Every structure is written in C-alpha cells, then in structure tokens.
Structure 1
Amino acid sequence: MLLFSFRSFLEVLIAYPFSNKLTVTPAFGNIRAFANLAVVLIPLSWLVLVNNPRVETKVLAWSVNLFWVWVLVLTEARSGLLSLGVGILWVAFKYGRPGRAAFVVFLSVLFTSLLIYIFVPVLSVDGWTRDVTSSSGRWELWSWSWVYFFDSFPFGIGGMMFAADGRLAHASPHNLLLTLMAEWGALVLVGGALFLVVLVKAFRSELSGRSVSVRVRIPVVWAVIAGVVNAQFSGAHIGSFSSIALILAFGAYFAVRIPASMSELPNKLKSNRLLLIVLVCLWAHASFLGYQLYGFSEESRASCAKESSGTLYPRVWVQGRLDCGGSGFGH
C-alpha cells in the first residue's frame, strides 16, 4: 500500500491537472478494480499496529489510509465508501470502546480526505463527472432482474444470460444477488439463505480456542464485512480477479477462529476431506468453463462493439451477449 501511494502520488504530481481518473490508480485498468482491493486492504492494513503500536507507525498507517480513501473519493467509488462505512459501523457496535475508537479514527481519515478533495482539486475543469446521488440506471436493471427471476422461476434464465432476450442493457445491474437470482433462480435463494445463516452464526458465536486480541479481530471483521458488501454492489463479479482480496479477508477471519491446539486439526481435516475434494473439483470445473467463456466473449466483443458504432455499452458481453444477432441490437 505504501509503494502504491508513492507511485500514485508521483503520477498526480506529473499529470496535474488531469481528467482521466486512471491517473491516480497506476497499474489498474479500471478504477473500480482499485476500489475492490481497497475495501479489504484498508482495514487489514491496521494489523500492522498489533505488534508495532509506536506513534510513528500509527502516523504512517493513518497517512497511507488517508491517501487510499482520498483516491476512493476522487474516483467516486460509491460502493467502496459504502462498504467501508458499513463495516466500521458494525465494528463500532460489536466491539465496544475499541470499536468506537476505530470508528473515530476512520472518520478522521474520511473527513480529511474530503477536505483534500474539496480544497486541493487535481481534476481538470473539463473532466468527466457524474451525479453520484443517482442510481446510474441501476434501479431499472434491478427491476429487470426481478422480472427475469419470476418469469424463469425456479430454474433461472441461465448463467451469463442476462441479456439473452435481445433487450440490450447499458450496463451490469451491479447487484450480485439479483443477478444470480435472475440467472440461477431458486438455487440462489437456497444457497444464499444457508450462507447467510452460517455467516450470522459465525459472527455471533464466540471465538473458539485461544483468545484473539480485539486489535486483531477489528481489522479482520471490518475487512470481511466491507468486502462482502462491496462484492454485492460494486459489480466486482464482472472482473472477478479484482475482488480476490476478499479471499484474503475470509482467510484471515478463519485463521483467528482456528483452535489453539494444533492436535485437533488432523481430525477436523479428515472429517472434511470429502467436502474439500468436492469443492476443489467444482472449482476446477468452473475455472475451465470460465476460461472457455472468456475466450468466446473476447472474440465477439470487438465485432459487436464495432457494429454498434460505439452506441453499445462495452460491458454488454458479460451479460451473455456472445453474438451480435439479437433483436434490437444497436438501437
């Protein structure tokens, strides 16, 4: 995070004033890919203070967090800021005085980043802006997700088939649950309900094994909640690699729940061996199909965009439009 902040700061100094917001996110082809990583890495960066709570370390961590949050504000990462806010609110209510202290620190970071954004403008006057209070057309897409879900219940319209009826939407709904409900029907309802029950039970239960410091739990829990909320509303499933940090957050969360006695692990692993094998096989199969689908979509995306004369939103390929012969194309 420190190296990225340094590199990004240099880009800002060199390009100021600039209109392309990718300037502040070097090495990221999409500013949302940065946001998908930031919502997890910002909370986890607080772990550096667990074993090194010196004043200079706190100042450095606060400064790096300030820069990353400023980038989120500058790039109008609504889902990212919402996710961090939801996560820190949970921590504030869950962990008492330490949680409220973390909430105050994050508020100071957010408030300072807003002041920098207002009083130190780096964007050129002719830069692209949008109404951040609008839905950017998402409400209509959410309503269409409901229509697809009920019209095709209980099986759904099929994976990656969101635009298969010929009605070309201008973007993805950016709602993971509604998109999956439309594509997979009742299966998502059952799986989502089970996941929610397990997740709530995990958060409400006491940590097993050794007692983990609250200074460790706060960043980890914050990262998990922020990552999950962001995955729901950011459209991270469009570029799934951009949300890979969420795996890191869940890994950290499960790590603090492992029993202190390592002698208990072999028995637990044996009982879950079959489940692990099945999950690995499913992951391998999904990866193979995903790779094939990516190849097909990349071949057709260029020709579709060319035929549409620039009027078709370039992300339409992720909604299942693998050909350009649908009714109403380009209109």
Structure 2
Amino acid sequence: MLQVDFFRLILIFYFLLSFGFLGWFWRAQFIGKLIFSCSNERMLCCTILVMALLAVLLGPAPFVAFLELSYVVGLLVSAWLVCVASRNIRSLVVWRVIGGLLLVFVLVHSVYAIDTISLRHSFMTRHDATPGFAHDRLFSDMAAGVVPLAVLYSVSRKKLSVFAISLSVPPLAVWWYLLFISEGRAGILSLILAVLVVAALYRKAVLAPIFVLLLSAVIGLMGWLVFNPMVKKSTGEVFQRDIKNSSGRWELWRDAIFYAYDNFPLGIGPMQYAGDGVMRGGSAHNLILNTAAEWGAVLAVILAVVLVKGGLVILRRAVEVPDAEKPLYACLIMSFVAVMVNLQFSGAHIAPSSAVIIIVAVGFVFGFRSESVVDTPPLKMQYRFYGGMAWGGVMLILAYLLFAGLEMYWLSLDSQLICMQKEGRLHLFPRFWAQGRLECMQMIAPDHWLFWSWR
C-alpha cells in the first residue's frame, strides 16, 4: 500500500511541475478564455463556483471539503492544459507518437501481467490478474481510456498499415484478456458502447480503428475461454462472483439519492459519503449521483447539462472533421465516451491514477484541431498579467491539495489500528490516498484543524 501511495505522490508532484510550467506559459489563454466567453458561459461558471463554495463552507468539515474542491480544481485545470496542448498538435506523426507511447505502456504491463498470472495461476484471484494496480477496478478504469488511445498508433497515418495493426493487436488483446478474467464489467461495457457510438457516427470511415479494437477483443475473449486460471475445477464455475448482481451499486445509488433529497440543495458535504459513519463503499460509484449526494442536486443537474452540451460539441466537430482525419478523431471520441460511461459505474474520478486517463481523454477530444483550421490571433499582452495572477491562485489551491492531502494521509495511517478494532477489519477508502475512515481519524486527533467546523 505504501508503494501505491508513493506512486500517487509522484503523480501529484508531476502535476505540480506541469501546472507551474505549462500554466505560466499559457496564462494569457487562461484568463483570455474567461474574458472572451459568452455571458451565458460566465453566468454558468459563476453559479457553479458559488454553489461549490457554499457546499464547502456549510459542510460538516470545511477544510476536508476544501481538500476535495482543490482536487476537483486540479482535475479541471489539468484537462484544460491537455486541451490547450493538443490544439498545437497539427501533425499525424505526433498523434502516432502519442499512440505509440501508450501502446508501449500497454505492452510492458501485458508482459508483467502474463508473467504474474503464470506464477500464480493455481491459486490466483481476479485481483491478481491486474498487477501494478491497487485494485482490479482501477485497471478497468485505465483500460477504458487507454485502449482506444493506443489505437492511434495504427490509424494516425495517411495510408493504412497492416504492419502497424499487427503490432497493435497483441498487447491490446492481452488487456482485453485481463478485463475478462478480472471481470471488469464497467470497462468492457464502456468500450463496447464507445465502438457503437463511432460506428453509428462515421460508419465505413472508421473501419480501421473498429477492426483493431474488435479483433483484439475477440482474441482476448478466446484467450479467456481457453486459458482461464480462475475456473474452479471442483464446480466448473467460470466467475469468482455473481456478475449478474450490482456489487452493491443499487444500495450506493439509493443512498446517494436519499442524501441529495434530504440535504437539498447542497448535499451532505464533499468527501462525506466516505465519512458519514456507515460501513460501505467510499463513493456512490456514479459521477452524477455522487455529485448530487456530496455537492447537491443543483450542481449534479448542471454537471449533467454540461456533459450533454459537451457531447453536442463533439458531435458538431465530428461532422466537420475531414474524412482523412476521421479514424484519428474516432479514437479520441471512443476514449471520451468510454471514460464517461465508466464514470457512471465507478468512482474513477476519485482515484488519482484513474483520473489521469480521464484528464487526457477529455483534453484530447475537446482540444483536437484539424489541419485545415486557421490559427487564431495571439491575445493581448495585458492578459498575461491578469492570467499570471489567476494562475498564482490556482497554484495556491494545489499547494493546499498537497499539504492537506499529506496531513490526511498520515492521519489515515495512524488511525488504522483503532479503526480495525472498531469495525472488525482494516478498511480503507480510495479518495486521495489509502484514506481511512474520517471518524476513526477523529478518534485519534479530535482537535485536528482538518476537522474544525463552525456548526
């Protein structure tokens, strides 16, 4: 667990460096976008900001809630940075390199996973099928976004390359195989729906990326049918759990709806779904319902509207993309659709490693610009000053994320023993770190500043 937390610390440190450099470099665009936005967009942003601050300040633990808000700010601005960076990508070669790097990542993990499975095949569980991830659900979250983007390597070309496809299919097939044996239902469903969306949108124009994905999926499925180390020899059962049940999601969603209704309009408070004293999952495993429960029904409705609006923007851009670039943009659309569908069945936005691929998928699909698009004129110089001030505020928020996140992490470690005695077993919730229960932390540090409240 400490290794996982150390990896997450590296991720946050990397993000801070990226924020500091890229954000300062693009500070004029940051403030210019806010100024040039239409009045409706500015009004929407102000409404979101006011409602979010009210949810934080009026919640049961404002400093804990602000930790969640700072994390959300980090995710949003990270996606904006990826979006701005991708606008400068005007060459198929660069997209091919991006897809190639992701394909190498998939290949390296595939070799590692196959080696692990071969060593543990006689006694392994589905959690052992995805080594390197703290939980098999985190692998499913990652696969939903990475698999379509890795296809970029084989389709970001003026002419179809059979050799590139032959290099792409084997590692992607292994990841499909891992999805099947780890029973990653949300990831499989998300990828299938993403393929159906682009097939309905582009039809024959995207046969290449669809072929790569479906071929690798079929090979992975065949591998699962032929070599499934988790089939019980005594009973012949294929699955380690009843895949027809909701894995507790119905109960989580029901509780989220009740929280949103009983605490209208601001919800129970950010991060309080994981700290209300009830022994259950740390989130509602649904982006909209989790937002409604913790931040209020108003923000949940606004989020749903923004997602629908974003889908319409993608649809409009998809129609405008030249035929030669449709296979490339189809990969970006599939990645976006897959991560968004997956978010309705998981808490992927909470785990930092899973949130990385969400940031990339969202940033790429909205930042993509065709080679035929004319560059916009540079922004005025005075925006650099105001942009620098705004970016400094963002950096302060992220500094709080790092400082308060470390404080909560140490509290979670110190409270593990007393929490295990209270609950009967060691149970941690994936918010930022291996975070334990908030009430257990308060037992060992009741006067800690994180838990101060004026209620």
CA 1:193–1:18 in 2, change beyond 3 Å: closer, same or farther?
Answer: same
Verify the 8 A CA contact 1:89 1:103 in the aligned structure 2.
no
Verify the 8 A CA contact 1:17 1:124 in the aligned structure 2.
no
Aligned partners of 2:146, 2:381: CA distance in 1, in Å? Answer: 29
Partner of 1:120: 227
Q: Which amino acid aligns with 2:400?
A: F
Question: Which is further off, 189-198 or 245-254?
Answer: 189-198
Partner of 1:89: 196
Q: 3-state SS of the aligned residue for 1:233? A: coil
CA 1:276–1:129 in 2, change beyond 3 Å: closer, same or farther?
Answer: farther
Q: Which amino acid aligns with 1:123?
A: M
**Structure 2 residue 420 is matched with structure 1 residue 305:** yes
Q: Which of 97, 110, 126 is matched with 1:5 structurally?
A: 110
Aligned partners of 1:255, 1:317: CA distance in 2, in Å? Answer: 28
Question: Which is further off, 223-232 or 204-213?
Answer: 204-213
CA 1:301–1:115 in 2, change beyond 3 Å: closer, same or farther?
Answer: same
**Structure 2 residue 258 is matched with structure 1 residue 147:** yes
Q: Provide the aligned length of Structure 1 versus Structure 2.
A: 325
Q: Which protein, 1 or 2, shows the higher relative CO under an 8 Å CA cutoff with sep ≥ 6? A: 2
How do 1:199-210 and structure 2 match up within 5 A? 199-206=310-317
Question: Which is further off, 246-255 or 134-143?
Answer: 246-255
CA 1:76–1:283 in 2, change beyond 3 Å: closer, same or farther?
Answer: farther
Q: Which amino acid aligns with 1:134?
A: N
Give the Å deviation of 1:173.
Answer: 2.4
CA 1:277–1:96 in 2, change beyond 3 Å: closer, same or farther?
Answer: farther
Give the Å deviation of 1:208.
Answer: 10
How do 1:96-175 and structure 2 match up within 5 A? 96-99=203-206, 102-123=209-230, 125=232, 129-162=240-273, 164-169=275-280, 172-175=283-286
Deviations, residues 119-168 of structure 1 (Å, cap 9, x unaligned): 21223638981111100121011111111101000111101112555433
Deviations, residues 235-262 of structure 1 (Å, cap 9, x unaligned): 2134233231121222322342377567
Verify the 8 A CA contact 1:175 1:233 in the aligned structure 2.
yes
TM-score, structure 2 normalization: 0.62
Give the Å deviation of 1:221.
Answer: 0.8
Q: Which of 361, 370, 373 is matched with 1:249 structurally?
A: 361
Give the Å deviation of 1:272.
Answer: 10
CA 1:67–1:227 in 2, change beyond 3 Å: closer, same or farther?
Answer: same
| RMSD over equivalenced CA pairs, Å | 3.5
Give the Å deviation of 1:322.
Answer: 0.8
Q: Which of 275, 289, 305 is matched with 1:178 structurally?
A: 289
**Structure 2 residue 347 is matched with structure 1 residue 235:** yes
Deviations, residues 265-288 of structure 1 (Å, cap 9, x unaligned): 523998799689657735752662
Aligned partners of 1:269, 1:260: CA distance in 2, in Å? Answer: 27
Verify the 8 A CA contact 1:84 1:226 in the aligned structure 2.
yes
**Structure 2 residue 434 is matched with structure 1 residue 323:** no
Structure 1 unaligned spans of 5+: 327-331
Q: 3-state SS of the aligned residue for 1:266? A: coil
Question: Which is further off, 162-171 or 81-90?
Answer: 162-171
Aligned partners of 1:59, 1:93: CA distance in 2, in Å? Answer: 26
Q: Which of 132, 135, 144 is matched with 1:30 structurally?
A: 135
CA 1:172–1:244 in 2, change beyond 3 Å: closer, same or farther?
Answer: same
Verify the 8 A CA contact 1:66 1:109 in the aligned structure 2.
yes
Give the Å deviation of 1:74.
Answer: 0.7
Q: Which amino acid aligns with 2:183?
A: E
TM-score, structure 1 normalization: 0.83
Q: 3-state SS of the aligned residue for 1:237? A: coil
Give the Å deviation of 1:72.
Answer: 0.6
CA 1:313–1:296 in 2, change beyond 3 Å: closer, same or farther?
Answer: closer
Partner of 1:329: none
